Structure 1
């Protein structure tokens, strides 16, 4: 979860950096990038890479779209919101499919 939160911060910082021409946003992007890589690598010690990466990327994508709309005044259309909901549903189903109960383990 921390890796995903830092991924959202990274995406927003890159957007605010205006192609890395604004020093404060660029520095924030670098910090968030390093933090997201560290926490993702730590999480992947205990989570399968495919599942961990999918969840990280999905949460990062949805979070960046939602917070970009709120904080950076980027448009979020109804169609985009629908497909973001599909991503969320996919993440939930990935996690459910990995659960011990659904695999017959107790």
Structure 2
């Protein structure tokens, strides 16, 4: 259960990062509220998962999911660069996250 919550929390990290960007420095109400709610839920989920998962592993997986998810949303929906080096770097992050899970 802790791993499922951790993955969901990582996805919520992606949501709050995108909402933070869309809030335009907290000047837009709806994205600011989405940011606040998803950030809080993401942290609560991380805290719950860390009851069973070591902090180094849990935090790295959480950040990795959030970072890769945010970069993918940027590439797919926000017209950010999809260069081969960026994609390779994201694959390396994914490999690292998978390695942490496997060798947990």
1:71 aligns with 2:77: yes
How high is the TM-score relative to the length of structure 1? Answer: 0.86
Residues 65 and 76 of structure 1 are in contact (CA less than 8 Å); yes or no, is this contact kept in structure 2? no
Aligned twin of 1:41: 47
* Aligned residue-pair number: 98
1:94 aligns with 2:100: yes
Which stretch shifts more, 66-75 or 53-62?
66-75
The one of the two structures with greater contact order (alpha-carbon pairs below 8 A, sep at least 6) is 2
The alignment's C-alpha RMSD in Å is: 1.1
Match of 1:19 among 19, 25, 42: 25
- Whichever structure has more helix as a proportion of its residues is 2
User: What is the rounded CA distance, in whole Å, between the counterparts of 1:78 and 1:25 in structure 2?
Assistant: 31
How high is the TM-score relative to the length of structure 2? Answer: 0.87
1:57 aligns with 2:70: no
Aligned twin of 1:84: 90
Larger radius of gyration between Structure 1 and Structure 2: 1
Aligned twin of 2:12: 6
Deviation >4 Å, runs of 4+: none
User: What is the rounded CA distance, in whole Å, between the counterparts of 1:18 and 1:26 in structure 2?
Assistant: 9
